[in-house]
Amino acid sequence: MIDHRVSVGDIRNAADRIKGYVHRTPTLTCSTLDNLAANPDVGLKLFFKCDNFQKVGAFKIRGATNAILSLLSSHPDRSPSEFSVITHSSGNHAQALAYASQALGVRCHVVMPSNSASVKKDAVRGYGAMVTECVPTLQAREDGVNAIISEMRASGKEITFIPPYDDVRVIAGQGTMALELMEQAASLDAPLDILIAPVGGGGMLSGCAVAAKGVDPGIWVVGAEPAGADDAYRSFNAKKFIPSVDPQTIADGLRTSLGEITFPLIMANVDAIHTVSEVEIVRAMKLVYERMKLVVEPSAAVGLAVALYGSEFKEQIRILASKKQKQDLNVGIIFSGGNVDLANLSTLFDIAGNN
């Protein structure tokens, strides 16, 4: 039976394990975005955890590295070169697993949807992984992985599947972001009242929620999701898993459905999930480029979009500020990655029009 539990202790252990293999990324602020996000009666101080500066340009290296190191440590008598790993991913987890495999001496196979950004597919191949493309459906991705596993095992070769999000080792690795963010905010004498993280498959949100609640049970944790891929929002509010059907969003990293492990962790540790439109995502992304001079991908801008444009979020922060008897709230926002296809950037920004 799979152990679905993840604790803040697991996340602290993951932080120790991956230290030296990943960056401790900076947390940055922007007074212009603070002013744009503020309500008339509640001020917001935004703290951006910039994992767009992470190795491979995204947070996924944390979970991938923790998963492979955990695998290797469970077989200390074997050489890393004896191990093969496989996954399916639209891009960032693929890059992360390929990079971590190369760094740790493990062979890597990746099944990628044919509509993944070309910059991501090129990067995966550049890190030495063997890439198999498939039609852009979850079923096709899973079928592709199972076919390669069956083929390798039939020839007597062992291979380990490392899911992009629904794995306790991956979840614990992703949660290290929240530990760092909360430490960095506290060092600025600004302990967080709210943490906002994007949600697709839920590995990042569930890991960050467990970490944040483990450090401060009173923190309010929010998931941010595109309205065109809102299975987490619908599942959270229905209190039962509702899979995604034909997700349509420019935030390609958030098109996947929640998993068997991530969904209950989110239900137990997340306080709200809010959705934003495609236009709102691009407006937020454009503001980051213009005001912070940072490269972020659409998936990374969804949390800021909630803070800037989410009507339900704005109502809830008024309630939270009143409850805490505070006029200003400290809000941590995860910038999950910066792997945007620069060739299509102007077309992407056109979605926001002149706003």
pLDDT in tens, 142-199: 999 999 999 999 988 889 999 999 999 999 999 999 999 999 999 999 999 999 999 9
Beta strands in the chain (DSSP E): 27-28, 43-50, 84-88, 107-113, 130-134, 160-161, 194-198, 220-226, 272-276, 328-335
Which helix (H) or strand (E) element contains residue 164?
Answer: none
Summarised one tens digit per residue, pLDDT across range 275-309 is 999 999 999 999 999 999 999 999 999 999 999 99
Position 3 scores a pLDDT of: 55
Summarised one tens digit per residue, pLDDT across range 94-137 is 999 999 999 999 999 999 989 887 777 888 999 999 999 999 88
- Please state whether beta strands 328-335 and 194-198 pair in parallel, antiparallel, or not at all (unpaired): parallel
Prediction pTM value: 0.93
Mean pLDDT across the chain: 93
Tokens encoding 139? 């079923």
Question: How many other CB atoms sit within 10 Å of the CB of residue 114?
Answer: 10
Q: What is 8-56+168-350's CATH topology?
A: Rossmann fold (3.40.50)
Q: Write the CB contacts of 29 (distance below 8 Å, at least 6 apart in sequence).
A: 45, 46, 47, 48
Question: How many other CB atoms sit within 10 Å of the CB of residue 189?
Answer: 7
Write the DSSP symbol of residue 162: -
Domains 8-56+168-350 and 84-157 share a fold: yes
Question: How many other CB atoms sit within 10 Å of the CB of residue 163?
Answer: 23
Please give the positions annotated as active site. 60, 90
CA distance linking residue 131 with residue 156, whole number of Å:
21
Q: What is the layout of strands, in order, in the sheet containing 27-28?
A: 27-28, 43-50, 328-335, 194-198, 220-226, 272-276
- Looking at the DSSP bridge assignments, the partners of residue 108 are 85
How do the domains of the chain map onto residue ranges?
8-56+168-350, 84-157
For domain 84-157, the question of CATH label 3.40.50.300 is answered with: no
CA angle, corner 221, sides to 216 and 227, nearest 5?
Answer: 170
CA distance linking residue 24 with residue 354, whole number of Å:
36
Position 137 scores a pLDDT of: 82
Question: With pLDDT > 90 as the criterion, what percentage of the chain qualifies?
Answer: 83
Least trusted range by pLDDT, from 10-14, 276-280, 347-351: 347-351
Which helix (H) or strand (E) element contains residue 117?
Answer: none
Position 27 scores a pLDDT of: 98
Tokens encoding 343? 């060739």
Position 149 scores a pLDDT of: 96
- Please state whether beta strands 220-226 and 194-198 pair in parallel, antiparallel, or not at all (unpaired): parallel
